[in-house]
């Protein structure tokens, strides 16, 4: 069961106030680091000390890893130096490098000064962009030589195990440190100790260069059901590994990015309720302005058709309905294509097949809506001419909008933008103008204006 944070916090307060050391130890032994991290962030500086000092150092390190980066730095620099150093040296290298990348340069140096022995490796890790395999990886990996015996490999595992990020895979390298194979702990446990690593290693290892984008890394984990993925340099030398827990965070991050873009705004990189109002405005105003300017074309379009509008005022009544439906049809098509691209089902080269499908779908959807519209206008007592105009317009508009909706994400991809920028707001803005043009062209023909 996941725990109730508020209840856990109250319990901890009671234990600290009562000075119940035994109770505190027991409490700390039984709480998950992720839960403890949430509680820790809400404590005063002195209380944090007390708690972290009472913890096993390993647990303290896991807890700090789960705290937000800014707060991690704040906690670590407020602790007595020996305690901070001890916790830092037990933290995972990849989490540490992520934190150092997030805080200011000065703050990072403060931390690095506490752990000079790890500073070099950390500085190297900090150089990889955070959204790449290099930015996600840790170098704390169990590497063995391909001509090691199983018992030698087991010995290395015992030595490096407590420090390694995962002990479930051991990576085999050759004399040039190039990655040549992988053995799972499962294989190691079930193999006779006199065999060599190369006798049991899987040589067909999936690995990625350090500059691989995290979205690609996540796709490989999904496709091949990986628990860890080795990262290599351009000479196939083993640099480190990415583990599945970091990849789950990546998938969630990439997804919310897509969702934000589809809502017509840039992704927000902090919690909604803690972002300032001005920050929310700054993430939204640009798209809103761009769309506003693009949509101002409709003002010119309508003033161009002023005479037609003056002659048949009823034409006005259907404007929001027609352009609204165009936007909806376009958004549906765009969403389907964005989703299919994200899942790897379609690529830009399927362009023609997609456009053909959307035209067909558009013809059917358009026919249904056109028939309903015609009957409805007649029941409301509209003239047959209005019925024909609006019905025919909606038929053409739905087809055009479906095609535009499907085309836009493909175009974005081709131009190396995120396909998700082909959002409902953008589509709506584009289909508005085309919808009005279609509507008034048909109206002029039918009403002979």
| Span 30-49, contacts to its own copies by CB under 8 A | 30-32, 34
Q: Which stretch binds its own copies (CB under 8 A): 70-78, 126-134, 139-147, 325-333?
A: 325-333
Position among 17, 234, 306, 415 found at the interface with its own copies (CB under 8 A): 306
> Which residue from 239, 365, 400, 404 is in contact with its own copies, where contact means CB under 8 A?
365
Contacts 24+ apart (CB under 8 A), 85-89: 85/114, 85/115, 86/57, 87/52, 87/57, 87/60, 87/61, 88/61, 88/114, 88/115, 88/118, 89/115, 89/117, 89/118
Listed residue (176, 169, 168, 166) closest to 145, CA to CA: 176
- Please tell me the distance from the alpha carbon of residue 317 to that of residue 321, in angstroms, as a whole number: 8
Nearer to its own copies, 116 or 224 (CB): 224
Concatenating the DSSP letter of every residue in 175-232 gives: TT-BEEEEEEHHHHHHS-TTSBHHHH-BS----EETT-BHHHHHHHHHHHT-SEEEEE
**Min. distance of Cβ 195 from its own copies in angstroms?**
17
Q: In this structure, are residues 64 and 75 in contact, taking their beta carbons and an 8 Å threshold? A: yes
Tell me how many residues contact its own copies (CB under 8 A). Answer: 116
Q: Which of 132, 214, 332, 389 lies at the binding interface for its own copies (CB under 8 A)?
A: 332
Of 247, 266, 353, 270, the closest CA to residue 68 belongs to: 270
105 or 380: CB nearest its own copies: 380
Using rule CB under 8 A, residue 280 touches its own copies: yes
Which listed residue (132, 138, 139, 335) binds its own copies by CB under 8 A?
335
> Scanning residues 425 to 444, which ones bind its own copies (CB under 8 A)?
425, 428-429, 432, 436
> Which residue number, 83 or 157, has a Cβ lying nearer to its own copies?
157
As a whole number of angstroms, the distance between CA 418 and CA 334 comes to: 13
Which residues in the 77-106 window bind its own copies by CB under 8 A? none
Nearest to 429 by CA among 339, 330, 336, 363: 330
How far apart CA 187 and CA 166 sit, in angstroms, is: 15
Residues 185-214 that bind its own copies (CB under 8 A): 185-186, 189-190, 203-204, 206-208
185: Cβ contacts below 8 Å, ≥ 6 apart: 157, 167, 168, 169, 170
* 298 scored as a contact of its own copies (CB under 8 A): yes
Token digits for 122?
């950390």
Range 101-160, binding its own copies (CB under 8 A): 157-158
Considering only residues 216 to 275 of the shown chain, the ones binding its own copies according to CB under 8 A are 220-227, 244-245, 247-249, 251-252, 255-256, 258-260, 262-265, 268, 271-273
* Candidate segments 81-89, 110-118, 140-148, 324-332, binder of its own copies by CB under 8 A: 324-332
CB nearer to its own copies: give 135 or 425: 425
Compute how many other C-beta atoms are within 10 angstroms of the C-beta atom of residue 322.
22
Distance CA 105, CA 108 (A): 5
Residue 195 or 206 having the CB closest to its own copies: 206
- Residue 1 makes contact with its own copies by CB under 8 A: yes
* Interface pattern 151-190 for its own copies (x via CB under 8 A): ------xx--xx----xx----------------xx--xx
Nearer to its own copies, 77 or 378 (CB): 378
Residue that has been written with the tokens 């499962």 in this structure: 186
């Amino acid at each position: 069961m996941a725990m109730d944070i508020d209840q856990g916090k109250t319990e901890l307060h009671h234990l600290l106030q009562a000075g119940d050391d035994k109770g505190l130890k027991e409490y700390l032994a039984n709480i998950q680091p992720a839960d403890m991290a949430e509680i820790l962030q809400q404590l005063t500086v002195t209380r944090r000390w007390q708690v972290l000092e009472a913890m096993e150092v390993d647990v303290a390190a896991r807890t700090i890893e789960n705290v937000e980066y800014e707060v991690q730095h704040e906690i670590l620099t407020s602790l007595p130096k020996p305690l901070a150093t001890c916790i830092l040296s037990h933290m995972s290298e990849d989490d540490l490098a992520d934190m150092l990348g997030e805080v200011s340069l000065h703050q990072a140096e403060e931390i690095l000064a506490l752990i000079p022995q790890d500073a070099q490796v950390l500085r190297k890790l900090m150089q990889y962009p955070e959204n790449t395999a290099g930015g996600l990886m840790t170098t704390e990996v169990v590497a063995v030589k391909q001509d090691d015996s199983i018992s030698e490999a087991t010995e290395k595992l015992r030595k490096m195990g407590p420090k390694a990020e995962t002990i479930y895979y051991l990576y085999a390298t050759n004399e040039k440190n190039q990655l040549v194979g992988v053995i799972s702990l499962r294989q190691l446990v079930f193999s006779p100790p006199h065999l060599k690593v190369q006798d049991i290693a899987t040589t067909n290892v999936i690995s990625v260069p350090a500059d691989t984008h995290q979205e690609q890394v996540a796709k490989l984990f999904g496709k091949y059901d990986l628990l860890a993925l080795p990262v290599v340099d351009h000479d196939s030398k083993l640099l480190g590994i990415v583990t599945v827990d970091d990849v789950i965070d990546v998938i969630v991050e990439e997804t919310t990015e897509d969702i934000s873009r589809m809502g017509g705004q840039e992704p927000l990189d902090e919690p909604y309720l803690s972002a300032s109002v001005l920050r929310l405005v700054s993430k939204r105003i640009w798209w809103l302005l761009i769309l506003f300017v693009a949509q101002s074309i409709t003002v010119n379009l309508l003033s161009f058709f002023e005479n037609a509008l003056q002659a048949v005022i009823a034409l006005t009544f259907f404007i929001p309905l027609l352009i609204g439906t165009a936007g909806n049809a376009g958004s549906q098509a765009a969403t389907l294509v964005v989703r299919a691209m994200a899942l790897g089902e379609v690529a830009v080269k399927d362009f023609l097949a997609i456009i053909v499908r959307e035209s067909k779908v558009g013809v059917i959807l358009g026919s249904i809506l056109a028939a309903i519209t015609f009957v409805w206008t007649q029941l409301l007592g509209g003239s047959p001419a209005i019925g024909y105009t609006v019905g025919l317009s909606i038929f053409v508009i739905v087809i055009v909008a479906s095609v535009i909706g499907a085309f836009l994400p493909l175009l974005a991809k081709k131009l190396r933008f995120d396909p998700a920028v082909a959002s409902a707001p953008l589509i709506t803005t584009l289909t508005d103008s085309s919808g009005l043009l279609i509507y008034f062209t048909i109206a002029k023909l039918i009403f002979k204006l």
